[in-house]
Structure 1
Amino acid sequence: MTLQSPGQSPVQFPFDNSYARLPDRFFARVAPTPVDAPRLVRLNRDLALALRLDPDWLASPQGVEILAGKRVPDEAEPIAMAYAGHQFGQFVPQLGDGRAVLLGEVIDREGVRRDIQLKGSGPTPFSRRGDGRAAVGPVLREYVVSEAMAKLGIPTTRALAAVTTGETVVRERFLPGAVLTRVASSHVRVGTFEFFAARGDTEGVRLLADHVIARHYPQAAESERPYRALLDAVGARQAELVAQWLLVGFIHGVMNTDNMSIAGETIDYGPCAFMDTYDPATVFSSIDHAGRYAYANQPRIAQWNLTRLAETLLPLLDEDDSRAIAEAQEALSGFATRIDAAYHAGMRRKLGLATERDGDIALEQDLLKAMAENQADFTLTFRRLSDAAAGPAGDEAVRRLFADPTAYDAWAARWRQRLADEPQDGAARQAAMRAVNPAFIPRNHRVEAVIEAAVERDDFGPFEELLTVLSKPYEDQPAFAPYADPPEPHERVLRTFCGT
């Protein structure tokens, strides 16, 4: 399809669809289901430009029809990807894209291949009796949180557009329908490998591994043991990713293997949330009754998921079973060390420590313990510590976050003693800490307010304003200061829900 804005030369929709060139058993060819009356809610113009797409054309009636699935570009090869997955520890041999269609792939301005997927675009052969649609609430949640994560500097899928469909979907009640256009480095998951391994399709696993190496980890192809190098590389990215989640208080909510991206991006924002009061056992997901995916469990679950990936790769690691298992175990043994190193390095930055000393881990852990015991807000504590790092005058703002302020005083005395060993001056330390301790996160009560306004009043003003605030998470924004505040007791969100 040719894209053309008034007064501009035509621009080709630059699809180059590598995944659709894999064998047919990797996916189902299916077009999105047309909708009645698509309406653009928001287009991510900067992202469109980065993808070499014309945002003016995409915002036109013809462009919106593509973003809603009502029209399919000529160069698209719409497919629903096949995958399996362990869901809350239980294996499901076939899941797949039940409400999403991958239109195709583009090469962005940096030369990186990106998927363009419609989420909520109607039923597919993997829908399992579902309607394949999405309500506006989950679409707005994913748009807000994924774009917030991108601005925080955390690898993530992105939101290109949100549109309403003019139709209703039935959940607990009738809700307005919507479609999210999602952009990802790819949509290959641990569960994609499991799909083929569960069928004894070693050739399928090999084809998929070769595709992932070529697309995401080309350096692995140069290794004498490319599939071991692939496992190492995926583990390294996952360790860094989950450490970054922990450092901003993010809880994915449903870390099933079908929600773990091989590319190392945060994917599938369902019952996700950011902590307010610090508590390592925090769970928001309404379906996580046992706390499997609680905040502090995320490193352990990431390793569990990586182990499932390693199992699928065993036939590629070595023809001898015992040697293959030993190879996988060796790769997995370094994961805990990697994630600990990434996490503690991040915590040192959050505390203003440019060097590493004995006792630093105890210092950070003692702060977290005091925060948990005194119901201190996670995000605000570290943000206000950034100011306290410039001098004791900033202490009072931190003390007020603790139920017992003396708990902070006792810790702060040790912290200041440790800071005295650092080479930075107070101003430089404050600036460095502000660059890693955000003032603004997508707090749960704010996200819920956005969804309520859209669903109940067709009002997307709060959605736009929240996105404006979250576009500069590390900057003081006096005009939007209330967005940094934790919820009042009556505003607290204790449960979040999947969008299916």
Structure 2
Amino acid sequence: MTKFKVKHSLAALAAPFSQPCQPTPVSAPQWLAFNSALATQLRLPEQYWLTDAGLALFSGNALPDWTKPLAHAYAGHQFGHFVPQLGDGRALLLAELEDAHGQLFDIQLKGAGRTPFSRGGDGRAPLGPVLREYLVSEAMQALGVPTTRALAAVLSGDWLQRDTAEPGAIICRVAKSHIRIGSFQYLAAHSDSSQLKTFADYVIQRHYPACLHADNPYLALLEAVISAQAQLIAKWMSLGFIHGVMNTDNMSISGETIDYGPCAFMDAFNPAQVYSFIDKQGRYAWGNQPRIASWNLARFAETLLPLIAEHAAQAVELATGALQGFNSENEAAFLQLMGEKIGLKAATKHDESLIRDLLNLMSANNADFSQTFRLLSQSVSDASTGAAMLFADNNSWQAWCSRWQARLAEQGIATKDVKQQMDACNPALIPRNHQIAKAIELASTEADLSLFNRLHNALQTPFELDDANADLALPPTAEQCIENTFCGT
């Protein structure tokens, strides 16, 4: 393996952007999972692959000298309420590794113990949230959604007291960046404009170097982040994914999905569906995600105003213009993705009603989101097959299907090619909430990782499904339905 390259660019900025911090050792670490494909991409030396040295690294018990652990400082709006200091309360950035293409990736331990930002918490993570993040983040990668990744997971050997005693675990999370909108909010609340400029210049250099050549680099940064988030949210929506806690401290500047807490893929389609136990008002429901992303981006824009223009009124005008681009780009991306899901090579504004009516029909019939779109390819030439089985209101289904089939015919594309294209963008398998819960239960109560490993392996090829894993694709029964998930802090 080519010698890996390590950098510490965030550490070089020092305070107030981060604080050095060492992990707290654990008593008896054991391997849970290791991502050899990602390790290869990062050129991680094989001495850390499922070895004692690797176990010491990923548990935080003995860090090699190429690491410089630190806790990143950030603030955030949590359910709309501003908290001026949050920060990495149970996570430590170890280093930035450069892959063969020159892309830098953070490697971070999550659950490694207390940090200066722990706010009274123990800095640990229970086994359940670690397994959930490992499964869902790697599934998102396979589905083509920008996301943090999971490099390794270890059992700590220690028990944590939450509602009940739970086994502790640590995940090594990989991302292009762990910098969030809340990172800028922290600086705007605590620092002078020179530190804000230093940080913005760092983010531009690392993530959006093309902005350096713009007439207004900081406005260009805002526009780039808006675009990245518009595309990301459209991908979430097209897969029925609900993040669960879209606080500003959970929105990545790099446009990756970050912080898999009370997240879930919908079963029966319901635009008002939420999964976070504490989201009583539905703030982060599936259908609200574009609106919340736009709101969060407005908070990001506010932090950049002193850099965008010297005069406040001009800065507000420029930032407002940039923010107005979010809805149009998000809606266009969502239209294109949903068009592809129903077999349209190039959806137009005229197709919006066709897509909207299908979603309304799905909601009225409690049709499973992923199953509907996966079976739809079987209905291209015969309305009585495939997705038809999911609609109790057969007359409404037949009426919609006739409109849809007529629209497909206008394209002049062979039926087999339409079906192939649809199956290539509609997953046969998603990380079903009830299956994840069962895998966590088996691992936590019986030290049985068989279902976790089976799910993980199957989710690497979500657009293919063999007979041996057909049960993993099934929606939950009424008894298996899970309405709430938890963040695991």
TM-score, normalization: structure 1? 0.96
Letter in 2 for 1:43: F
> Offset at 1:406?
2.4
User: Do residues 230 (structure 1) and 221 (structure 2) align?
Assistant: yes
Tell me the distance in 2 between the aligned counterparts of 1:57 and 1:235.
38
> Offset at 1:145?
0.4
Q: Deviations over 1:445-493 (max 9, x none)?
A: 0000010000010101110000111010011322211111100000000
Q: Deviations over 1:76-117 (max 9, x none)?
A: 110000000000000000000000000010101221100000
8 Å CA contact 2:4–2:42 kept in 1: the answer is: no
* Alignment map for 1:460-499 (pairs within 5 Å): 460-499=449-488
Tell me the distance in 1 between the aligned counterparts of 2:46 and 2:414.
45
- Which sits farther off after the overlay, 265-274 or 397-406? 397-406
Tell me the distance in 1 between the aligned counterparts of 2:75 and 2:392.
46
8 Å CA contact 1:133–1:178 kept in 2: the answer is: yes
Tell me the distance in 2 between the aligned counterparts of 1:200 and 1:107.
30
Residue 489 of structure 1 aligns to a residue whose secondary structure is coil
Tell me the distance in 2 between the aligned counterparts of 1:203 and 1:395.
65
User: Do residues 282 (structure 1) and 269 (structure 2) align?
Assistant: no
* Alignment map for 1:246-265 (pairs within 5 Å): 246-265=237-256
Residue 52 of structure 1 corresponds to 43
Tell me the distance in 2 between the aligned counterparts of 1:34 and 1:23.
24
8 Å CA contact 1:36–1:166 kept in 2: the answer is: yes
8 Å CA contact 1:123–1:133 kept in 2: the answer is: yes
Residue 434 of structure 2 corresponds to 445
Residue 402 of structure 2 corresponds to 413
Residue 382 of structure 1 corresponds to 373
Runs of 4 or more, structure 1, over 6 Å off, are: none
8 Å CA contact 1:147–1:158 kept in 2: the answer is: yes
Q: Choose from 340, 344, 362 the match for 1:349.
A: 340
8 Å CA contact 1:377–1:401 kept in 2: the answer is: yes
> Offset at 1:55?
4.2
Residue 153 of structure 2 corresponds to 162
Residue 361 of structure 1 corresponds to 352
User: Do residues 426 (structure 1) and 439 (structure 2) align?
Assistant: no
Q: Percent identity?
A: 50
Letter in 2 for 1:61: D
8 Å CA contact 1:45–1:55 kept in 2: the answer is: no
Count of paired positions: 489
8 Å CA contact 1:103–1:118 kept in 2: the answer is: yes
Q: Choose from 167, 171, 182 the match for 2:162.
A: 171
Q: Choose from 76, 82, 93 the match for 1:85.
A: 76
Letter in 1 for 2:292: I
Tell me the distance in 1 between the aligned counterparts of 2:385 and 2:416.
18
Residue 3 of structure 1 corresponds to none
> Offset at 1:200?
4.5
Q: Choose from 44, 68, 72 the match for 2:63.
A: 72
Residue 435 of structure 1 corresponds to 424
- Which sits farther off after the overlay, 133-142 or 476-485? 476-485
Residue 233 of structure 2 corresponds to 242
Tell me the distance in 2 between the aligned counterparts of 1:465 and 1:44.
14
> Offset at 1:355?
2.9
- Which sits farther off after the overlay, 14-23 or 320-329? 14-23
Tell me the distance in 2 between the aligned counterparts of 1:57 and 1:129.
32
User: Which ranges in structure 2 are unaligned for 5 or more consecutive residues?
Assistant: none
Residue 25 of structure 1 aligns to a residue whose secondary structure is coil
Tell me the distance in 1 between the aligned counterparts of 2:325 and 2:22.
43
Distance 1:55 1:147, change over 3 A: farther
Residue 216 of structure 1 corresponds to 207
Tell me the distance in 1 between the aligned counterparts of 2:297 and 2:340.
27
Q: Choose from 458, 480, 490 the match for 2:447.
A: 458
> Offset at 1:357?
4.2
Distance 1:153 1:92, change over 3 A: same
Residue 6 of structure 1 corresponds to none
Distance 1:358 1:35, change over 3 A: closer
> Offset at 1:251?
0.2
8 Å CA contact 1:38–1:165 kept in 2: the answer is: yes
Tell me the distance in 2 between the aligned counterparts of 1:201 and 1:304.
24
> Offset at 1:401?
0.8
Residue 15 of structure 1 aligns to a residue whose secondary structure is strand
8 Å CA contact 2:166–2:444 kept in 1: the answer is: yes
Tell me the distance in 2 between the aligned counterparts of 1:291 and 1:41.
34
Tell me the distance in 2 between the aligned counterparts of 1:327 and 1:83.
25
8 Å CA contact 1:376–1:403 kept in 2: the answer is: no
8 Å CA contact 1:158–1:184 kept in 2: the answer is: yes
* Alignment map for 1:79-228 (pairs within 5 Å): 79-228=70-219
User: Which ranges in structure 1 are unaligned for 5 or more consecutive residues?
Assistant: 1-8
Distance 1:387 1:491, change over 3 A: same
Tell me the distance in 1 between the aligned counterparts of 2:341 and 2:17.
43
Q: What RMSD over aligned residues (CA atoms) do the two structures have, in Å?
A: 1.2
- Which sits farther off after the overlay, 209-218 or 349-358? 349-358
- Which sits farther off after the overlay, 256-265 or 414-423? 414-423
Residue 229 of structure 1 aligns to a residue whose secondary structure is helix
> Offset at 1:23?
3.1
8 Å CA contact 1:285–1:495 kept in 2: the answer is: yes
Distance 1:198 1:400, change over 3 A: same
- Which sits farther off after the overlay, 417-426 or 295-304? 417-426
Q: Deviations over 1:25-73 (max 9, x none)?
A: 1111001111111111110000000000134632101111100100111
Q: Deviations over 1:386-438 (max 9, x none)?
A: 2222x21x742311111322221110010011111013101111111111100
